[in-house]
Amino acid sequence: MKISENKVVSFSYTVKNAAGEVLDQSDASAPFSYLHGCHQIISGLEVALEGKEKDAKFSVHVDPEDAYGVRDESLIFTIDRSYLGDEPIEKGMQLQLQAEDGYHIVTILDITDTEVKLDGNHPLAGESLDFDVQVLDVREATAEEIEHGHSHSHEHDCDCNCEGECDSDDDFDDIEFTPEDDEKLD
Ligand code: ZN
């Protein structure tokens, strides 16, 4: 069975940055699984998986444009320090901010007595990635998985709050952070 839309794919992988450092990996005992065609994984990897079958092994180089995007300096912004309350913060720390369209990870670039400078770029923005992948399984998605827009392979009970759609757009470029949007910090 070839990987195509509405197939649930399980695979193991190792991903390295341009310097050859391993950023993440998942072996056969804890494979990653996803619903193909739903943009749940970075586009460069999803495209490379298309048409592959169980047991396929391959390497793929993914440019930033097809991974976590190029860096966008307009995503650097400043908020009032008071907005973060008594949260202990330090430079380089990552915070989750809630915006209208969900949570986004921001990195603290600088802290003054009154302001905090944040970077809304994905931590891997601007990085090219090299994946080594082995396809472990390809199967038809269930009707429920298609309805939810994700794989249920590793969940006994899906308690997701999903709205039942394949979320095809998770584009950081469209986000504008304003304090009003960000009600809560984790
Ligand atoms: Zn679900």
Q: What is the pLDDT of residues 140-149, one digit of tens each?
A: 999 999 988 8
Q: Ion ligand 1 — residues with CB under 5 Å?
A: 148, 158, 160
Q: Kindly give the distance from the C-alpha atom of residue 30 to the centroid of ligand 1, in angstroms, as a whole number.
A: 19
Pairing verdict, β 7-16 and 129-140:
antiparallel
Which domains, from first to last, does the chain contain? 7-68+127-179 (3.10.50.40), 73-119 (2.40.10.330)
Residue 105 has a pLDDT of 84
Nearest to 51 by CA among 14, 87, 1: 1
How far is 143 from 67, CA to CA, in rounded Å? 29
How far is 79 from 56, CA to CA, in rounded Å? 48
Q: Kindly give the distance from the C-alpha atom of residue 17 to the centroid of ligand 1, in angstroms, as a whole number.
A: 31
Greater model confidence, 95 or 159? 95
Q: Kindly give the distance from the C-alpha atom of residue 83 to the centroid of ligand 1, in angstroms, as a whole number.
A: 34
Q: How confident is the model at residue 166 (pLDDT cuts 50, 70, 90)?
A: low
- Per-residue tokens: 173: 């470029």
pLDDT average, residue stretch 113-137: 95
Say if CB 98 and CB 184 are below 8 A apart: yes
- Per-residue tokens: 42: 């970075």
Q: Quick check: pTM over 0.75? A: no
Nearest to 11 by CA among 158, 129, 140, 153: 153
